[in-house]
Amino acid sequence: MSSNKNRLYIALYPSGVVGNEERRFHWAFLIGPKAEKSVVPGVRYHVKNMYMGGWQYEEKGVDDVRSTNTLLARFVIGKVEDERRLIDLLRNLPVVNGDPNWRCRSWIAKALTEIAKDGKCVGTSELNWGHIEAFARQYVAQKTAAGRYATAEDLLKPKPTYDLLGRKETVP
């Protein structure tokens, strides 16, 4: 067993929605290597609202999972055991259009349920959506209150990262 398995992250981005705390963030998955050096390529998996085109699934390579455009924070939630299986699972999740209550967080919650049911695409993991969502919101609120996103210089740094498996912050 390799101890350098890719990691599955939950990533939070600002959604652009003001005045609605539940819709304040855009939620996505990132997959990247455990060992992070100066630049850490990876892939983002999410659904995005194309407005007139509705919700669409997207997977996109990113130059550096530590600092994708507008990323606020990321959270290690799993050690990837079978990446192909995980990606297939994400690709085959339903994307719902026509339901005004369905959005990116709905897709993430469903994905976590299906990953847990599958039992083979990730090993050690934290897949409880209620815990992840509450912790992530509180963590980003603390970072915001502390001024972590206040300067252009801060925005260029690797973003705050918390390992929910080891229960520790790995990037402040």
In a 13 Å sphere around the CA of 8, the CA atoms on its Cβ side amount to: 27
Residue 144 confidence (pLDDT): 94
pLDDT averaged per 10 residues in sequence order, the chain, 172 residues: 81 88 92 87 94 90 90 97 98 95 96 98 97 97 94 88 96 90
Residue 68 confidence (pLDDT): 83
Rounded CA-CA distance 107/164 in Å is: 20
Residue 86 confidence (pLDDT): 98
Residue 66 confidence (pLDDT): 92
Maximum pairwise Cα distance, the chain: 47
Residue 1 confidence (pLDDT): 43
Amino acid identity, position 83: E
Residue 106 confidence (pLDDT): 97
Residue 3 confidence (pLDDT): 66
